[in-house]
Structure formats: structure tokens, C-alpha cells
Amino acid sequence: MKKFTAIVYARTMEFLRDKGTFYWNLLFPIVLVVGFSFAFNGNNDTIFKIGVIGESTLGEEAFLNLPSIEQISYDSDKQLPLEKIRRHQIDMLIDFNDGTYYLNNESNSSGLLRIVGEKDLAGFQEKELSGSPIRYVDWLVPGVIGMNMLFSCMFGVGFVIVRYRKNGVLKRMKATPVSPIVFISAQMVSRFIIVILTSILVFTGTNLFLHFMVHGSYLLLVLVTSLSIVCMISFGLIFAARLKSEELTSGLMNLVTFPMIIFSGVFFSLEGTPRLMQQASKFFPLTHFIEASRAIMIDGAGIVQILPNILVLSGMTLVFLITASVLFKWE
């Protein structure tokens, strides 16, 4: 334990003494959250999102085919799209199976869509819902925090160990009584402490003046965050297992992290994108963290609802750790 705690302390102090890296991890996500909250705070969207259930019976000249309208298909279960209407995430739901359409009477777009679709939906029954909108910043914050966690875990563990290998630190460490498992575990614990504290500080600091919507349990949110951090650190260890070139490591990590950021739903919803893209995103740990966090914060989900995400993150962590342990070499 003395060897373990000594390495944890040394690695943590190395991070804290690097002021540039410390402030980057702390301030960068805050700037992003605040910036996007102001940039997308308005309600001046020009594209209507309309959910559709069943096959359309309207003609080619119907209002659904207008360029300013985006159609999103749903299955026969109305629970999800109706909840999205209540939260102003879609503007209308048309169910062609039973001839009804739904509008939110608190939405600014409901009156216009009622007029535009009056002719095409003449034989349909209208049903009204109500509900307050979700701000973009409420939806965005899990993605920004997850992105910051990803960079901090990947580069804070993988890149650092590669630098140790290149500089001969690992070679000298091999001559000490420290075993690989102790060394790697200490690196993981140090990075975990740094990332979890940074994430909590960023969330708490921005929440003081943005007041995020959190309908679920804070404890469950911390649990998901902790598991995701361990999973991302384990993923970073795969790159640290054998590589000794910082340039190659940086390139490979960027090659992996940027597709994660783009296709994990950090800045925009994957709803309405090709199904292949949505399925591919399930292979990213960042996707499962964002889905679970948003479900807790926005939907008030409990552990049963996010259990699939927890199981996937746990399985990924196990696979990443086994792969990294098999590939790891001191030199």
C-alpha cells in the first residue's frame, strides 16, 4: 500500500503542478457550457420537427413534404414521442394508424402547424398536450462533461504512460519492487480522483447560475459518472500498453475520440440520423454515459431504466482492462 499511495500521490501532484493542464480541464467545459447556453438560448428555430407513426396517407403536395419540416418516424408506442411533445423537443405527432395528431398548446409552433396542416389533416382528430420546454443547456451539459471526461481520461493516462515509456521512467520503474498491477492501479486511481472532482466542480459551478434540470437522483448521477470514468481510463490504457511514440499515440487517440464526440450525441441529437449511425454509436462508452445522464437529469430515470447503459459500461470496462493487461509491457 505504501508503494501504491506513493505513486498515486506523485501522479496527482504532477497533474496539479501543471497549471496549464489543470486549468484547461477545469475551465474548458465551463466555457463551452456557458457559450452554448447563450448561443442556443433563443426560440427562433426555423425547422419544425414532426413525429410520424405508421405510413403516411397524405399526398406528395402535403405540408409534411415542405423543406422546413423534418419528419421523424416512431414505432406504434406513443409514450416516447408524446413525452417529446410535452418537452417541446418535437412540434407535432401524427398517428396515421388511428387518424389523430397531437400538439402542445404551450408551444409557439402549435398554432402555425394547426393552420398549415388544416387542409391535409381535415379528417384527423386533434389532441392537445401541455408541458414546459427543455432548454438546450439542460440537454447539453451531460455531453460537455462527458467530452471533458473522455479527453482527460484518454490523454491523462494513455499519453502520460507513453511519455513515461519514451523517457525511460517505466524502464527504471521495472527495476523497483513495484509490480505492473500496482503501477497501473495507482495511475487509474489518481486519474479517477482528478476527473471525478473536476466533473463535480464543473457541474456545481455552472449550475449555480444556469440552474440545470435534474429530475433524478444525484447519487445515481455520480454512480454513472464514476463508472464511465473507469471505463474511459481503461480504454486509454490500451493505447498506453505498448506505444512509445507520443506523436503516434496522440494521432491514434484523436482518431478515436473525435468520432466519439461527433457521433455520441454531445452537441446534437442522433434522432433522425441514419439507423446505421445510431447503432454504431452504441459501441462508444461516451454514448452510454450521455444517454444515462440525460435520462437521469431530464427524465428522472431510476437505476432500472439506465441498467442497460450500466451493464454495457461495465462490460466495456472489463474488456478494456483485460486487453490492456495482456498487451502491457514496461519497455
The per-residue pLDDT string of the chain (331 residues; one tens digit each, 9 = 90 and over) reads: 777 787 777 767 766 666 555 555 666 666 656 655 554 455 444 478 888 888 887 877 788 888 788 888 888 778 878 888 877 778 888 888 888 888 888 777 888 888 888 888 888 888 888 776 677 777 888 888 888 888 888 887 777 788 878 778 777 877 777 777 777 888 888 889 988 998 888 888 888 887 888 888 899 999 999 999 999 998 988 887 777 777 777 777 777 887 788 788 787 777 666 778 778 888 889 999 999 998 898 888 889 999 999 999 999 999 998 888 888 777 7
- For residue 316, the one-letter residue type is M
As a whole number of angstroms, the distance between CA 311 and CA 314 comes to 5
- Residue whose cell numbers read 405540408: 63
As a whole number of angstroms, the distance between CA 84 and CA 92 comes to 9
Contacts of 75 (CB under 8 A, 6+ apart): 53
- For residue 109, the one-letter residue type is S
CA distances from 168 to 6, 132, 250, 308, 329 (A): 19, 58, 19, 42, 13
User: C-alpha grid cell for residue 95?
Assistant: 398517428
Torsion region of 59: left, alpha or beta (phi above 0 gives left; psi -120 to 50 gives alpha):
beta
User: C-alpha grid cell for residue 150?
Assistant: 473522455
Q: How much is the pLDDT for 18? A: 62
Q: How much is the pLDDT for 41? A: 52
Q: How much is the pLDDT for 44? A: 45
Q: How much is the pLDDT for 39? A: 44
Q: How much is the pLDDT for 35? A: 55
Q: 78-83: which pairs have CB atoms within 8 A and are 24 or more residues apart? A: 78/53, 81/51, 81/53, 82/129, 83/299
CA distances from 120 to 104, 110, 183 (A): 19, 15, 68
